[in-house]
Amino acid sequence: MSFFATTTREEQAKGDMATAAKSYETLEYASGFGNHISSEAVKGSLPSKGNNPKKCPYGLYAEQVSGTAFTAPRAKNQRSWLYRMRPSVTHEPFHPVTFTNNKIIGNFGEGSNNLVTTPNQIRWLPFDVPKGDSKVDFIRGMFTMCGSGCSGSKSGFAIHIYLANSSMDNTSFANADGDFLVVPQEGSLLVRTEFGCMKVKPGEIFVVQRGIRFSVDLLDDVARGYILEIFEGRFTLPDLGPIGANGLANPQDFKSPVAWFEREGMQQSYEVIHKMDGSLFSAQQSFSPYNVVAWHGNYAPYKYDLDNFCPMNAVGYDHPDPSIFTVLTCQSQEPGVAVADFVVFPPRWSVAENTFRPPYYHRNCMSEFMGLIRGEYEAKKGGFLPGGSSLHLCMSPHGPDTTTFENASNVPGDEPHHIGRDTMAFMFETHLFPKLTAAAMAAPTIDRDYYKCWLGLKQHFDLNEVEKTILKLSDQQNQNHQRSSFQQAHGSPRMNGAGSPIK
Ligand SMILES: O=C(O)Cc1cc(O)ccc1O
Ligand SMILES: [Fe+2]
Protein backbone atom coordinates (compact mmCIF):
# COMPACT_ATOMS: atom_id res chain seq x y z
CA MET A 1 0.00 0.00 0.00
CA SER A 2 1.30 3.44 -0.87
CA PHE A 3 2.39 6.09 1.64
CA PHE A 4 -1.06 7.70 1.58
CA ALA A 5 -3.03 4.50 1.33
CA THR A 6 -5.28 5.28 -1.61
CA THR A 7 -8.54 3.44 -1.80
CA THR A 8 -9.24 0.78 -4.34
CA ARG A 9 -12.82 2.00 -4.22
CA GLU A 10 -11.66 5.26 -5.76
CA GLU A 11 -10.74 3.30 -8.86
CA GLN A 12 -13.94 1.33 -8.68
CA ALA A 13 -15.91 4.58 -8.57
CA LYS A 14 -14.22 5.59 -11.80
CA GLY A 15 -15.62 2.42 -13.28
CA ASP A 16 -12.19 1.05 -13.99
CA MET A 17 -12.84 -2.46 -12.69
CA ALA A 18 -9.66 -3.86 -14.21
CA THR A 19 -7.45 -1.40 -12.35
CA ALA A 20 -9.54 -1.77 -9.23
CA ALA A 21 -9.25 -5.54 -9.28
CA LYS A 22 -5.50 -5.24 -9.67
CA SER A 23 -5.18 -3.06 -6.62
CA TYR A 24 -7.43 -5.29 -4.49
CA GLU A 25 -4.77 -7.92 -5.05
CA THR A 26 -2.20 -5.58 -3.57
CA LEU A 27 -4.04 -4.93 -0.30
CA GLU A 28 -1.74 -5.51 2.63
CA TYR A 29 -2.56 -7.29 5.85
CA ALA A 30 -1.06 -7.77 9.30
CA SER A 31 -0.69 -11.47 10.12
CA GLY A 32 -1.57 -13.29 13.30
CA PHE A 33 -4.47 -14.05 15.61
CA GLY A 34 -5.26 -11.68 18.51
CA ASN A 35 -2.03 -9.72 18.08
CA HIS A 36 -1.42 -6.17 19.24
CA ILE A 37 -0.96 -4.38 15.94
CA SER A 38 0.28 -0.85 15.19
CA SER A 39 -0.55 0.50 11.76
CA GLU A 40 -0.09 3.90 10.12
CA ALA A 41 -1.44 4.98 6.72
CA VAL A 42 0.62 8.14 7.14
CA LYS A 43 4.03 7.85 8.72
CA GLY A 44 4.20 9.46 12.14
CA SER A 45 0.44 9.52 12.74
CA LEU A 46 0.55 7.31 15.84
CA PRO A 47 1.41 9.24 19.04
CA SER A 48 5.05 8.74 19.94
CA LYS A 49 4.13 8.30 23.61
CA GLY A 50 0.89 7.19 25.25
CA ASN A 51 -2.55 6.84 23.74
CA ASN A 52 -4.11 10.26 24.09
CA PRO A 53 -1.65 13.14 24.05
CA LYS A 54 -2.93 16.71 24.38
CA LYS A 55 -2.59 17.05 20.63
CA CYS A 56 -2.34 13.98 18.41
CA PRO A 57 -0.05 14.01 15.35
CA TYR A 58 -1.50 15.92 12.36
CA GLY A 59 -4.43 17.15 14.48
CA LEU A 60 -6.08 13.74 14.56
CA TYR A 61 -8.62 12.77 17.23
CA ALA A 62 -7.87 9.83 19.53
CA GLU A 63 -10.78 7.39 20.04
CA GLN A 64 -10.71 4.14 21.98
CA VAL A 65 -12.93 1.21 20.95
CA SER A 66 -13.29 -1.19 23.87
CA GLY A 67 -14.24 -4.73 22.88
CA THR A 68 -14.14 -5.95 26.48
CA ALA A 69 -14.85 -4.33 29.84
CA PHE A 70 -12.01 -2.04 30.92
CA THR A 71 -11.30 -4.45 33.75
CA ALA A 72 -11.43 -7.73 31.81
CA PRO A 73 -8.45 -9.97 32.67
CA ARG A 74 -5.42 -9.04 30.61
CA ALA A 75 -5.47 -12.28 28.60
CA LYS A 76 -9.01 -11.48 27.43
CA ASN A 77 -8.82 -7.69 27.32
CA GLN A 78 -9.38 -6.27 23.82
CA ARG A 79 -9.30 -2.64 22.77
CA SER A 80 -7.89 -0.47 20.04
CA TRP A 81 -6.99 3.18 19.73
CA LEU A 82 -8.03 4.89 16.51
CA TYR A 83 -6.50 8.17 15.31
CA ARG A 84 -9.07 9.75 13.04
CA MET A 85 -9.90 12.95 11.21
CA ARG A 86 -13.13 13.43 13.15
CA PRO A 87 -14.45 11.31 16.04
CA SER A 88 -17.34 8.89 15.43
CA VAL A 89 -19.61 10.96 17.66
CA THR A 90 -19.98 13.64 14.97
CA HIS A 91 -23.30 12.60 13.46
CA GLU A 92 -27.01 13.54 13.31
CA PRO A 93 -29.32 11.70 15.74
CA PHE A 94 -30.16 8.05 15.08
CA HIS A 95 -33.68 7.12 13.95
CA PRO A 96 -35.17 3.62 13.78
CA VAL A 97 -35.19 2.07 10.31
CA THR A 98 -37.69 -0.48 9.17
CA PHE A 99 -36.51 -1.45 5.71
CA THR A 100 -35.54 -4.91 6.84
CA ASN A 101 -39.17 -5.64 7.78
CA ASN A 102 -38.07 -7.26 11.04
CA LYS A 103 -36.14 -9.85 9.10
CA ILE A 104 -33.15 -9.45 11.40
CA ILE A 105 -33.92 -10.91 14.80
CA GLY A 106 -32.00 -10.45 18.03
CA ASN A 107 -34.41 -11.79 20.62
CA PHE A 108 -35.11 -15.51 20.72
CA GLY A 109 -36.11 -15.54 24.36
CA GLU A 110 -39.13 -14.34 26.29
CA GLY A 111 -41.55 -12.19 24.33
CA SER A 112 -40.21 -13.31 20.97
CA ASN A 113 -42.88 -14.17 18.45
CA ASN A 114 -43.28 -16.53 15.53
CA LEU A 115 -40.29 -18.66 16.45
CA VAL A 116 -40.34 -22.40 16.02
CA THR A 117 -38.39 -25.36 17.35
CA THR A 118 -38.82 -28.69 15.65
CA PRO A 119 -37.27 -32.13 16.01
CA ASN A 120 -37.57 -32.57 12.24
CA GLN A 121 -34.42 -32.50 10.17
CA ILE A 122 -34.56 -29.40 7.97
CA ARG A 123 -32.83 -28.58 4.72
CA TRP A 124 -33.01 -25.57 2.45
CA LEU A 125 -32.10 -25.33 -1.20
CA PRO A 126 -29.94 -22.28 -2.02
CA PHE A 127 -31.71 -18.96 -1.48
CA ASP A 128 -32.02 -16.87 -4.66
CA VAL A 129 -29.98 -13.71 -4.93
CA PRO A 130 -32.12 -10.65 -5.71
CA LYS A 131 -32.52 -9.99 -9.42
CA GLY A 132 -34.07 -7.15 -11.36
CA ASP A 133 -33.77 -3.44 -10.82
CA SER A 134 -34.14 -3.28 -7.07
CA LYS A 135 -30.82 -2.69 -5.38
CA VAL A 136 -30.23 -4.88 -2.36
CA ASP A 137 -27.05 -4.53 -0.36
CA PHE A 138 -25.48 -6.70 2.37
CA ILE A 139 -27.63 -5.18 5.15
CA ARG A 140 -30.87 -4.88 3.20
CA GLY A 141 -30.46 -8.44 1.95
CA MET A 142 -29.86 -10.02 5.36
CA PHE A 143 -32.40 -12.16 7.20
CA THR A 144 -32.25 -14.34 10.28
CA MET A 145 -32.67 -18.11 10.00
CA CYS A 146 -32.45 -19.10 13.64
CA GLY A 147 -30.89 -18.25 16.94
CA SER A 148 -31.00 -18.54 20.67
CA GLY A 149 -30.84 -16.25 23.66
CA CYS A 150 -31.11 -12.53 23.35
CA SER A 151 -28.79 -9.82 22.09
CA GLY A 152 -30.12 -7.45 24.77
CA SER A 153 -28.86 -9.67 27.55
CA LYS A 154 -25.66 -10.54 25.67
CA SER A 155 -26.37 -14.24 25.57
CA GLY A 156 -26.68 -16.67 22.69
CA PHE A 157 -26.25 -16.36 18.96
CA ALA A 158 -28.05 -15.87 15.64
CA ILE A 159 -27.53 -17.29 12.16
CA HIS A 160 -28.33 -15.08 9.18
CA ILE A 161 -28.17 -15.37 5.40
CA TYR A 162 -27.19 -12.44 3.19
CA LEU A 163 -28.20 -12.06 -0.45
CA ALA A 164 -27.01 -8.94 -2.27
CA ASN A 165 -26.76 -7.45 -5.72
CA SER A 166 -25.23 -4.10 -4.88
CA SER A 167 -22.49 -2.52 -2.79
CA MET A 168 -23.13 -0.63 0.42
CA ASP A 169 -21.26 2.35 -1.02
CA ASN A 170 -21.95 5.27 1.33
CA THR A 171 -23.69 3.16 3.94
CA SER A 172 -21.73 1.93 6.92
CA PHE A 173 -22.86 -0.64 9.45
CA ALA A 174 -21.96 -1.37 13.06
CA ASN A 175 -23.37 -4.14 15.20
CA ALA A 176 -23.62 -3.36 18.91
CA ASP A 177 -25.21 -6.79 19.46
CA GLY A 178 -22.11 -8.92 18.95
CA ASP A 179 -19.50 -10.24 16.55
CA PHE A 180 -20.18 -11.32 12.97
CA LEU A 181 -18.41 -14.30 11.44
CA VAL A 182 -19.22 -14.05 7.71
CA VAL A 183 -18.90 -17.02 5.35
CA PRO A 184 -19.17 -15.83 1.73
CA GLN A 185 -20.46 -18.55 -0.56
CA GLU A 186 -20.88 -16.66 -3.82
CA GLY A 187 -19.26 -13.41 -4.92
CA SER A 188 -16.02 -11.82 -3.74
CA LEU A 189 -16.34 -8.89 -1.36
CA LEU A 190 -14.41 -5.77 -0.60
CA VAL A 191 -14.91 -5.16 3.11
CA ARG A 192 -14.10 -1.59 4.08
CA THR A 193 -13.66 -1.12 7.82
CA GLU A 194 -12.46 1.57 10.15
CA PHE A 195 -9.24 -0.45 10.45
CA GLY A 196 -8.65 -0.85 6.70
CA CYS A 197 -9.86 -2.96 3.77
CA MET A 198 -10.04 -6.70 3.26
CA LYS A 199 -10.80 -8.54 0.07
CA VAL A 200 -12.70 -11.72 0.93
CA LYS A 201 -13.53 -14.37 -1.64
CA PRO A 202 -15.72 -17.46 -1.22
CA GLY A 203 -13.61 -19.98 0.66
CA GLU A 204 -12.39 -17.23 2.99
CA ILE A 205 -14.24 -15.98 6.07
CA PHE A 206 -14.07 -12.71 7.94
CA VAL A 207 -14.90 -11.56 11.45
CA VAL A 208 -16.00 -8.04 12.37
CA GLN A 209 -16.40 -7.54 16.08
CA ARG A 210 -19.03 -5.68 18.08
CA GLY A 211 -19.28 -1.99 17.28
CA ILE A 212 -16.75 -1.81 14.44
CA ARG A 213 -18.06 0.08 11.43
CA PHE A 214 -17.80 -1.60 8.08
CA SER A 215 -19.22 -1.64 4.53
CA VAL A 216 -19.47 -4.61 2.20
CA ASP A 217 -18.97 -3.89 -1.50
CA LEU A 218 -19.48 -6.44 -4.25
CA LEU A 219 -16.62 -7.35 -6.55
CA ASP A 220 -18.93 -9.64 -8.54
CA ASP A 221 -22.50 -9.17 -9.74
CA VAL A 222 -24.10 -10.86 -6.76
CA ALA A 223 -23.17 -12.07 -3.31
CA ARG A 224 -24.57 -14.79 -1.08
CA GLY A 225 -23.35 -16.17 2.22
CA TYR A 226 -23.92 -17.13 5.81
CA ILE A 227 -23.38 -15.17 9.03
CA LEU A 228 -22.85 -16.48 12.54
CA GLU A 229 -23.46 -13.73 15.07
CA ILE A 230 -22.45 -14.27 18.68
CA PHE A 231 -24.10 -12.12 21.33
CA GLU A 232 -21.60 -13.23 23.98
CA GLY A 233 -17.92 -14.10 24.19
CA ARG A 234 -15.41 -14.03 21.37
CA PHE A 235 -14.15 -16.36 18.69
CA THR A 236 -10.91 -17.98 19.78
CA LEU A 237 -8.71 -20.68 18.34
CA PRO A 238 -9.56 -24.06 19.88
CA ASP A 239 -7.12 -25.67 22.30
CA LEU A 240 -5.13 -28.37 20.55
CA GLY A 241 -4.56 -30.69 23.51
CA PRO A 242 -2.45 -33.72 22.59
CA ILE A 243 -2.33 -32.59 18.94
CA GLY A 244 0.44 -30.25 20.07
CA ALA A 245 1.31 -26.67 19.23
CA ASN A 246 0.44 -26.76 15.52
CA GLY A 247 -2.34 -27.74 13.19
CA LEU A 248 -5.97 -26.92 12.35
CA ALA A 249 -6.18 -23.12 11.84
CA ASN A 250 -2.67 -21.77 12.34
CA PRO A 251 -2.52 -18.28 13.93
CA GLN A 252 -0.19 -16.85 11.28
CA ASP A 253 -2.86 -17.35 8.60
CA PHE A 254 -5.29 -14.84 10.11
CA LYS A 255 -5.03 -11.44 8.45
CA SER A 256 -6.11 -8.07 9.81
CA PRO A 257 -6.34 -4.98 7.61
CA VAL A 258 -3.80 -2.18 7.84
CA ALA A 259 -4.66 1.47 8.41
CA TRP A 260 -6.36 3.12 5.46
CA PHE A 261 -8.63 6.11 4.98
CA GLU A 262 -11.09 6.95 2.31
CA ARG A 263 -9.79 9.96 0.46
CA GLU A 264 -12.81 10.62 -1.70
CA GLY A 265 -15.14 10.05 1.26
CA MET A 266 -13.69 12.89 3.33
CA GLN A 267 -16.40 15.30 2.20
CA GLN A 268 -19.12 12.79 1.31
CA SER A 269 -22.17 12.17 3.43
CA TYR A 270 -22.66 8.71 4.86
CA GLU A 271 -25.53 6.81 6.38
CA VAL A 272 -24.41 4.94 9.49
CA ILE A 273 -26.64 2.00 10.40
CA HIS A 274 -26.35 0.79 13.95
CA LYS A 275 -27.81 -2.53 15.08
CA MET A 276 -28.73 -2.62 18.73
CA ASP A 277 -30.89 -5.19 20.55
CA GLY A 278 -31.96 -6.60 17.20
CA SER A 279 -33.22 -3.23 15.89
CA LEU A 280 -31.65 -1.04 13.25
CA PHE A 281 -31.05 2.69 13.60
CA SER A 282 -29.80 5.10 10.98
CA ALA A 283 -27.90 8.39 11.28
CA GLN A 284 -26.42 10.74 8.70
CA GLN A 285 -22.98 12.23 8.87
CA SER A 286 -21.19 14.55 6.51
CA PHE A 287 -17.98 12.54 6.15
CA SER A 288 -16.74 9.00 5.72
CA PRO A 289 -16.46 6.85 8.86
CA TYR A 290 -13.37 5.43 7.16
CA ASN A 291 -11.21 8.34 8.27
CA VAL A 292 -8.79 6.48 10.54
CA VAL A 293 -5.22 7.43 9.65
CA ALA A 294 -3.56 5.16 12.20
CA TRP A 295 -4.54 2.66 14.84
CA HIS A 296 -3.04 0.31 17.34
CA GLY A 297 -4.49 -2.42 19.51
CA ASN A 298 -5.77 -5.98 19.57
CA TYR A 299 -9.42 -5.33 18.72
CA ALA A 300 -9.54 -5.47 14.94
CA PRO A 301 -11.37 -7.38 12.21
CA TYR A 302 -9.66 -10.27 10.48
CA LYS A 303 -10.06 -12.74 7.65
CA TYR A 304 -8.95 -16.34 7.16
CA ASP A 305 -8.60 -18.50 4.07
CA LEU A 306 -10.15 -21.92 4.78
CA ASP A 307 -7.74 -23.49 2.28
CA ASN A 308 -5.04 -22.88 4.90
CA PHE A 309 -6.81 -25.16 7.37
CA CYS A 310 -4.50 -28.02 8.31
CA PRO A 311 -6.79 -31.02 8.93
CA MET A 312 -5.99 -33.76 11.45
CA ASN A 313 -7.77 -37.05 10.90
CA ALA A 314 -7.72 -40.82 11.39
CA VAL A 315 -4.63 -42.62 10.12
CA GLY A 316 -5.66 -45.93 11.68
CA TYR A 317 -9.34 -46.72 11.98
CA ASP A 318 -12.71 -45.12 12.82
CA HIS A 319 -14.34 -41.82 11.97
CA PRO A 320 -13.32 -39.13 14.46
CA ASP A 321 -15.81 -36.57 15.78
CA PRO A 322 -16.05 -33.40 13.65
CA SER A 323 -14.56 -31.27 16.45
CA ILE A 324 -11.19 -32.14 14.87
CA PHE A 325 -12.12 -29.63 12.17
CA THR A 326 -12.87 -26.67 14.46
CA VAL A 327 -11.58 -23.42 12.99
CA LEU A 328 -12.86 -21.02 15.67
CA THR A 329 -14.86 -21.51 18.82
CA CYS A 330 -16.89 -19.25 21.07
CA GLN A 331 -16.83 -21.01 24.43
CA SER A 332 -19.60 -20.90 27.01
CA GLN A 333 -18.90 -20.78 30.75
CA GLU A 334 -18.78 -24.59 30.81
CA PRO A 335 -15.36 -25.85 29.72
CA GLY A 336 -15.38 -27.53 26.31
CA VAL A 337 -18.98 -26.51 25.57
CA ALA A 338 -19.47 -23.96 22.82
CA VAL A 339 -21.99 -21.17 22.44
CA ALA A 340 -21.00 -21.74 18.82
CA ASP A 341 -18.21 -23.56 17.03
CA PHE A 342 -17.25 -22.88 13.44
CA VAL A 343 -16.19 -26.18 11.89
CA VAL A 344 -15.13 -26.92 8.28
CA PHE A 345 -15.05 -30.08 6.23
CA PRO A 346 -12.10 -29.31 3.96
CA PRO A 347 -10.49 -31.24 1.10
CA ARG A 348 -8.47 -34.10 2.66
CA TRP A 349 -7.39 -37.69 2.31
CA SER A 350 -9.53 -40.42 3.78
CA VAL A 351 -7.38 -43.34 4.88
CA ALA A 352 -8.96 -45.27 7.74
CA GLU A 353 -8.86 -49.10 7.71
CA ASN A 354 -12.00 -51.24 8.00
CA THR A 355 -14.00 -48.12 8.65
CA PHE A 356 -17.28 -46.72 7.42
CA ARG A 357 -15.68 -43.51 6.25
CA PRO A 358 -18.54 -40.95 5.92
CA PRO A 359 -20.03 -39.42 9.07
CA TYR A 360 -21.69 -41.95 11.36
CA TYR A 361 -25.40 -41.91 12.20
CA HIS A 362 -25.83 -39.87 15.31
CA ARG A 363 -27.91 -37.84 17.71
CA ASN A 364 -26.13 -34.90 19.23
CA CYS A 365 -26.98 -32.87 22.34
CA MET A 366 -25.49 -29.94 20.38
CA SER A 367 -27.44 -28.52 17.41
CA GLU A 368 -25.85 -28.47 13.97
CA PHE A 369 -26.45 -25.85 11.26
CA MET A 370 -24.59 -26.70 8.07
CA GLY A 371 -23.83 -24.85 4.85
CA LEU A 372 -21.95 -25.69 1.69
CA ILE A 373 -19.50 -23.23 0.14
CA ARG A 374 -18.53 -25.36 -2.85
CA GLY A 375 -18.66 -28.88 -4.25
CA GLU A 376 -20.38 -31.81 -2.58
CA TYR A 377 -20.58 -32.87 1.05
CA GLU A 378 -19.36 -36.37 1.77
CA ALA A 379 -22.53 -37.48 3.63
CA LYS A 380 -25.01 -36.08 1.08
CA LYS A 381 -23.97 -36.18 -2.55
CA GLY A 382 -27.27 -34.74 -3.78
CA GLY A 383 -29.81 -32.35 -2.32
CA PHE A 384 -27.37 -30.46 -0.12
CA LEU A 385 -26.23 -27.85 -2.62
CA PRO A 386 -23.72 -24.97 -2.54
CA GLY A 387 -25.57 -22.06 -0.93
CA GLY A 388 -28.03 -24.45 0.71
CA SER A 389 -28.31 -25.15 4.43
CA SER A 390 -29.43 -27.80 6.85
CA LEU A 391 -30.32 -27.84 10.52
CA HIS A 392 -30.36 -30.80 12.86
CA LEU A 393 -31.50 -29.67 16.26
CA CYS A 394 -30.55 -31.14 19.60
CA MET A 395 -30.90 -34.95 19.48
CA SER A 396 -32.55 -35.02 16.04
CA PRO A 397 -31.16 -38.14 14.37
CA HIS A 398 -29.23 -37.70 11.14
CA GLY A 399 -26.36 -39.08 9.10
CA PRO A 400 -25.48 -40.15 5.58
CA ASP A 401 -28.25 -40.59 3.03
CA THR A 402 -29.15 -44.02 1.65
CA THR A 403 -26.88 -43.92 -1.39
CA THR A 404 -23.90 -42.75 0.64
CA PHE A 405 -24.46 -45.54 3.17
CA GLU A 406 -24.83 -48.28 0.55
CA ASN A 407 -21.77 -47.10 -1.38
CA ALA A 408 -19.48 -46.55 1.59
CA SER A 409 -20.32 -49.78 3.37
CA ASN A 410 -19.69 -51.81 0.21
CA VAL A 411 -16.46 -50.20 -0.93
CA PRO A 412 -14.01 -53.02 -1.60
CA GLY A 413 -10.64 -52.76 0.13
CA ASP A 414 -9.20 -49.97 2.20
CA GLU A 415 -7.57 -47.77 -0.43
CA PRO A 416 -6.88 -44.17 0.59
CA HIS A 417 -9.00 -41.79 -1.39
CA HIS A 418 -9.21 -38.04 -1.65
CA ILE A 419 -12.65 -36.78 -0.72
CA GLY A 420 -12.39 -34.05 -3.37
CA ARG A 421 -10.21 -31.01 -3.93
CA ASP A 422 -13.24 -28.92 -4.72
CA THR A 423 -15.32 -29.23 -1.58
CA MET A 424 -15.88 -27.02 1.44
CA ALA A 425 -18.77 -27.60 3.79
CA PHE A 426 -19.04 -26.04 7.22
CA MET A 427 -21.01 -26.34 10.42
CA PHE A 428 -22.09 -23.88 13.10
CA GLU A 429 -22.50 -26.10 16.16
CA THR A 430 -24.11 -24.84 19.35
CA HIS A 431 -25.06 -26.14 22.76
CA LEU A 432 -28.11 -23.82 22.72
CA PHE A 433 -31.49 -24.54 21.16
CA PRO A 434 -31.78 -22.71 17.81
CA LYS A 435 -35.26 -21.27 17.31
CA LEU A 436 -36.30 -20.90 13.69
CA THR A 437 -37.72 -17.69 12.28
CA ALA A 438 -40.75 -17.32 10.03
CA ALA A 439 -38.37 -16.39 7.19
CA ALA A 440 -36.65 -19.77 7.56
CA MET A 441 -39.75 -21.89 8.07
CA ALA A 442 -41.82 -20.25 5.32
CA ALA A 443 -38.93 -20.09 2.84
CA PRO A 444 -39.92 -21.40 -0.60
CA THR A 445 -36.51 -23.08 -0.68
CA ILE A 446 -37.30 -25.39 2.22
CA ASP A 447 -36.87 -28.99 1.09
CA ARG A 448 -40.05 -30.75 2.19
CA ASP A 449 -38.71 -34.10 0.96
CA TYR A 450 -35.51 -34.04 3.00
CA TYR A 451 -36.60 -36.92 5.25
CA LYS A 452 -36.89 -39.15 2.18
CA CYS A 453 -33.13 -39.34 1.78
CA TRP A 454 -33.08 -41.80 4.69
CA LEU A 455 -36.27 -43.76 3.93
CA GLY A 456 -34.42 -46.12 1.60
CA LEU A 457 -32.15 -47.37 4.37
CA LYS A 458 -32.98 -51.07 4.36
CA GLN A 459 -32.92 -53.41 7.28
CA HIS A 460 -29.98 -55.67 6.51
CA PHE A 461 -30.42 -57.57 9.76
CA ASP A 462 -32.35 -60.78 8.85
CA LEU A 463 -33.17 -62.88 11.92
CA ASN A 464 -33.47 -66.15 9.90
CA GLU A 465 -30.07 -65.58 8.34
CA VAL A 466 -28.60 -64.60 11.70
CA GLU A 467 -29.91 -67.81 13.30
CA LYS A 468 -28.46 -69.87 10.47
CA THR A 469 -25.09 -68.15 10.86
CA ILE A 470 -25.10 -68.66 14.61
CA LEU A 471 -25.97 -72.34 14.18
CA LYS A 472 -23.22 -72.75 11.63
CA LEU A 473 -20.76 -71.03 13.95
CA SER A 474 -21.68 -73.12 16.96
CA ASP A 475 -21.43 -76.30 14.82
CA GLN A 476 -17.94 -75.26 13.84
CA GLN A 477 -17.06 -74.48 17.46
CA ASN A 478 -18.34 -77.91 18.54
CA GLN A 479 -16.28 -79.63 15.90
CA ASN A 480 -13.20 -77.62 16.93
CA HIS A 481 -13.85 -78.44 20.55
CA GLN A 482 -14.17 -82.18 19.78
CA ARG A 483 -10.98 -82.03 17.71
CA SER A 484 -9.02 -80.29 20.48
CA SER A 485 -10.36 -82.72 23.17
CA PHE A 486 -9.22 -85.59 20.96
CA GLN A 487 -5.83 -83.96 20.54
CA GLN A 488 -5.51 -83.39 24.28
CA ALA A 489 -6.28 -87.07 24.89
CA HIS A 490 -4.07 -88.44 22.10
CA GLY A 491 -1.37 -85.78 21.77
CA SER A 492 -1.32 -83.00 19.22
CA PRO A 493 0.96 -82.78 16.25
CA ARG A 494 3.94 -80.45 16.90
CA MET A 495 3.64 -77.15 15.00
CA ASN A 496 6.35 -75.15 13.30
CA GLY A 497 6.53 -71.33 13.55
CA ALA A 498 4.17 -70.93 10.60
CA GLY A 499 1.49 -72.97 12.34
CA SER A 500 1.89 -76.10 10.14
CA PRO A 501 2.33 -79.52 11.69
CA ILE A 502 5.95 -80.76 11.63
CA LYS A 503 6.08 -84.09 9.87
O1 LIG B 1 -23.94 -34.23 10.60
C2 LIG B 1 -22.96 -33.94 9.92
O3 LIG B 1 -22.85 -34.21 8.74
C4 LIG B 1 -21.77 -33.30 10.62
C5 LIG B 1 -20.92 -34.33 11.20
C6 LIG B 1 -19.83 -34.80 10.51
C7 LIG B 1 -19.05 -35.80 11.01
O8 LIG B 1 -17.98 -36.22 10.32
C9 LIG B 1 -19.38 -36.41 12.21
C10 LIG B 1 -20.46 -35.94 12.94
C11 LIG B 1 -21.23 -34.90 12.43
O12 LIG B 1 -22.25 -34.39 13.12
FE1 LIG C 1 -24.18 -34.21 12.58
Ligand 2 centroid–CA 36 distance in Å is: 37
Which of 165-169, 263-267, 337-341, 409-413 has the least mean pLDDT?
A: 263-267
Q: Categorize the per-residue pLDDT at 320 as very low, low, confident or very high, splitting at 50, 70 and 90.
A: very high
Query: CA-CA distance, 55 to 57, in Å (whole number)?
Result: 7
Residue whose CA is closest, atom 8 of ligand 1? Answer: 359
Q: Categorize the per-residue pLDDT at 444 as very low, low, confident or very high, splitting at 50, 70 and 90.
A: very high
Contact 257, 300 (CB under 8 A): yes
What pLDDT, in 10s, does the model give residues 55-92? 999 999 999 999 999 999 999 999 999 999 999 999 99
In three-state form (DSSP H/G/I as H, E/B as E, the rest C), the secondary structure along 354-407 is: CCCCCCCCECCCCEEEEEEEECCECCECCCCCCCCEEEECCCCCECCCHHHHHH
Catalytic residue among 36, 95, 274, 319: 319
The atom number, within ligand 1, closest to the CA of 325 reads 8
**Beta carbons within 8 Å of 181's beta carbon, 6+ residues apart:** 205, 206, 207, 227, 228, 229, 230, 235, 328, 342
Average pLDDT over residues 215-224: 98
C-alpha dist (Å) from residue 148 to 93, 110, 158, 434: 31, 11, 6, 5
Q: Which among 349, 319, 368, 336 has a CA at the least distance from the CA of 241?
A: 336
What is the edge-to-edge ordering of all strands in the sheet holding 196-200? 95-97, 279-285, 270-276, 171-175, 214-218, 189-193, 196-200
CA 120 to chain centre: 23
Q: Which residues are annotated as a binding site for homogentisate?
A: 377, 398
pLDDT of residue 8: 43
What pLDDT, in 10s, does the model give residues 180-209? 999 999 999 999 999 999 999 999 999 999
Average pLDDT over residues 315-324: 97
Query: CA-CA distance, 243 to 239, in Å (whole number)?
Result: 9
Average pLDDT over residues 444-454: 97
pLDDT of residue 270: 97
pLDDT of residue 218: 98
Q: Which residues are annotated as a binding site?
A: 362, 368, 377, 398
Query: CA-CA distance, 299 to 195, in Å (whole number)?
Result: 10
Ligand 1 centroid–CA 459 distance in Å is: 22
Pocket of ligand 1 (CB under 6 A): 322, 359, 362, 364, 368, 379, 398, 427
% of the chain residues with pLDDT over 70: 92
Pocket test for ligand 1, best of 342, 392, 427, 431 (most atoms within 8 A of CB): 427
Which of 89-98, 263-272, 314-323, 362-371 has the least mean pLDDT?
A: 263-272
The atom number, within ligand 1, closest to the CA of 380 reads 3
pLDDT for residue 266 is more than 90: no
Query: CA-CA distance, 442 to 19, in Å (whole number)?
Result: 43
Average pLDDT over residues 101-114: 86
Q: Categorize the per-residue pLDDT at 26 as very low, low, confident or very high, splitting at 50, 70 and 90.
A: confident
pLDDT for residue 486 is more than 80: no
Residue whose CA is closest, atom 12 of ligand 1? Answer: 322
The atom number, within ligand 1, closest to the CA of 321 reads 9
Query: CA-CA distance, 453 to 126, in Å (whole number)?
Result: 18
Which of 22-31, 254-263, 325-334, 354-363 has the least mean pLDDT?
A: 22-31
What pLDDT, in 10s, does the model give residues 112-134? 878 999 999 999 999 999 987 89
pLDDT for residue 6 is more than 50: no
The structure's pTM equals: 0.92
Pick the most confident of 26-30, 55-59, 262-266. Answer: 55-59
Higher pLDDT, 480 or 151: 151
Q: Which helix (H) or strand (E) holds 182?
A: strand 179-186
Q: Is 418 a catalytic residue?
A: no
Ligand 2 centroid–CA 425 distance in Å is: 12
pLDDT for residue 502 is more than 70: no
